[in-house]
């Protein structure tokens, strides 16, 4: 793709686009939630042809006409969103921080996450949402924590200080607590 096209896409994203991360309930997922990544471009339905052109350039996503004579072109999924963000990254101006943070979030998904790491990533997703003009966010990291705790997936961390406290206990007390 030519740099001029990448710059145009970046300008469109800066002006009439958004980068979105959502926590979506999924009962079939081990951690109970999916982190969905999306890039959206918005335009008056009168100018839907411009969105069709964007879709042709990027080769993924879907266009839908919304109420109020607006249309949107939406790209969903980690690999497609990451590819789009990497294409526009050198050219974005207003959404530079969002693109950088989004790519940072996505890089954390390269490895298998523990329940604690998934919760931390959900908290990062919550923080990312403050960069957008979100109207209704119902599911947040608190919901994820509640689910993970309910399933016993989050365990308290034993710290060095706790081990030192055990050494200070009387040997008689320790012996009674350690015998089966």
Q: What amino acid positions are annotated as catalytic residues? A: 15-16
Integer Cα distance of 38 and 34 in angstroms: 13
Integer Cα distance of 71 and 114 in angstroms: 39
**What backbone torsions phi and psi does residue 87 show, to the nearest 5 degrees?**
-65, -40
* Residue 70 and residue 45 in contact, taking contact as beta carbons nearer than 8 Å: yes
* Residue 105 and residue 125 in contact, taking contact as beta carbons nearer than 8 Å: yes
Say which residues have a Cβ less than 8 Å from residue 94's Cβ, sequence separation at least 6: 14, 15
Q: Which residues pair with 40 in a beta bridge?
A: 18, 74
CA atoms in the 13 A half-sphere facing the CB of 53? 10
* Residue 85 and residue 9 in contact, taking contact as beta carbons nearer than 8 Å: no
Integer Cα distance of 121 and 105 in angstroms: 7
């Amino acid at each position: 793709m030519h740099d001029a096209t990448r710059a145009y896409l970046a300008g469109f994203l800066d002006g009439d686009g958004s980068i979105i991360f959502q926590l979506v309930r999924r009962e079939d997922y081990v951690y109970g939630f999916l982190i969905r990544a999306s890039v959206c471009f918005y335009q008056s339905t009168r100018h839907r042809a411009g969105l069709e052109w964007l879709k042709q350039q990027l080769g993924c996503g879907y266009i839908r006409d919304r109420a109020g004579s607006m249309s949107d072109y939406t790209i969903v999924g980690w690999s497609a969103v990451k590819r789009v963000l990497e294409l526009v990254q050198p050219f974005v101006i207003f959404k530079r921080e969002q693109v950088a943070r989004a790519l940072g979030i996505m890089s954390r998904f390269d490895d298998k996450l523990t329940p604690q790491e998934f919760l931390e990533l959900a908290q990062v997703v919550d923080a990312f949402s403050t960069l957008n003009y979100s109207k209704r966010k119902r599911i947040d990291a608190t919901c994820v924590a509640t689910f993970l705790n309910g399933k016993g997936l989050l365990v308290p961390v034993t710290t060095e200080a706790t081990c030192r406290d055990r050494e200070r206990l009387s040997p008689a007390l320790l012996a009674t607590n350690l015998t089966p």
